[in-house]
Amino acid sequence: MEEFCVACRSLGLTERIALFLRHREKESSLQSVSSSVFGQCFGDVNDWANAKRYVLNSSELDGLVIEVFRNFTRSQRYSLYARTKLGYLFYKRQMKKARERYPHGHSIPQPVMFNGVKILPIPVLSNNYSYLVIDTHSSAAAAIDPSDPLAVQAAIEQEGVTLEAILCTHKHWDHSGGNMALRRRYGSCRVYGSACDAIPELTNPLSDKETVTVGQLRFKALFTPGHTVGHMVYLLDGKPFEGPACLFSGDLLFLSGCGRIFEGTPETMLASLDTAADLAEDTLLWPGHEYALDCLTFASLLELENPVLEQKLQWANQQRLEKRSTCPSTIGEEKEYNPFLRTHCWELHRALGLQRLRGEDWDSFRARVLKEVRHRKDLYKAN
Ligand SMILES: [Zn+2]
């Protein structure tokens, strides 16, 4: 270890990261690469103990990130983001930049009220949504994916509610990065999520179909791996409020899109998307990102003659011109235009030039369709 660290000091940034990665691969557990090891490897660049000061004051992280992007494969970059403190530093940097660029949030949120429940989207970072779900009778509230703790705290104070629970869809910093600060601020607040996903500050690990109760609010956790190994979505029961159910879908499902398949196979992701597609048509979809315009434009390049899609794209264009949020849509709507929920549609098969092979299992074929759509979307995004 000592040698490793000494060697690091005499090398450039790229080599240091490569060495760090190689060292990490030897560890039995990703968590076992301690912050002190990271600090030693990058000691003069970004000492973990001084991370906060460093992130706020140094321009070197930008250089480091540029190096990472230039020199590493996608899976290595992902590994750095999801599994090392470098990802956390990157997230802190993103948050600082977004707060400067969008002092009032990237979009104008449109809260929804039913009889006894209020859902407040909180635009955070450059395109994420956190949500505050409030039981208006008891003022108990749950926060979904509170990535910017200050923005979520401001909403809690403005609404005058008590934060009882954080429901975290997955471990990525842009969804879980605020857990620590909010737990520090609201000591009694519970943190829910999958035990498989290394969610910071997790206090109540959940398994598939478990229920979380906050005041009169009842959420059902649904296990939806693919984007990460432990991704979960949360379904708020609308019956007590005489309203529709609400799905907080994290990075599983977006308006006309789905999350990247970082930690699973197309088959895994398909099963998770089917879980969402099987919900009631009037279920409101509250996604983790404001990606509507990008996703609808991509979908319209795939399916050229889909009037519902055309109409939604026009509407989204108008909304975004006015900086208005595009959520929620409904599961019923999504099935009309979201290509990731249309793997069964021959129009999509034709557009992709894919045919079911003789003897090919139907779900295997749909997984192949999903893989192709995801691949094209990744390429589209890269251009
Ligand atoms: Zn994610």
- Among 89-103, 156-170, 174-188, 190-204, the least confident range: 89-103
Segment 243-252, tens digit of pLDDT: 999 999 999 9
Q: How far is the CA of 305 from the centre of ligand 1 (A)?
A: 31
| Residue 178 CB contacts under 8 Å (≥ 6 apart), including other chains | 130, 146, 147, 148, 149, 152
* Burial class (CB within 10 angstroms; exposed 0-12, middle 13-18, buried 19+) of 307: exposed
**DSSP H or E segment with residue 102:** none
Token output for 132: 């505050």
Q: How far is the CA of 48 from the centre of ligand 1 (A)?
A: 23
Average pLDDT over residues 109-123: 95
| 227 is an active site residue | yes
| 251 is an active site residue | yes
Residues with CB under 5 A from ligand 1 (ion): 172, 251
Average pLDDT over residues 284-299: 97
| 172 is an active site residue | yes
Which of 145, 172, 294, 349 is flagged as catalytic? 172
Which of 227, 231, 294, 349 is flagged as catalytic? 227
Dist CA 299 CA 329 (whole Å)? 16
C-alpha R_g of the chain: 21
**pLDDT band at 51; cut points 50, 70, 90:** very low
Q: How far is the CA of 9 from the centre of ligand 1 (A)?
A: 32
| 231 is an active site residue | no
Q: How far is the CA of 224 from the centre of ligand 1 (A)?
A: 12
| 104 is an active site residue | no
**pLDDT band at 370; cut points 50, 70, 90:** very high
Q: How far is the CA of 23 from the centre of ligand 1 (A)?
A: 25
| 175 is an active site residue | yes
Dist CA 237 CA 115 (whole Å)? 13
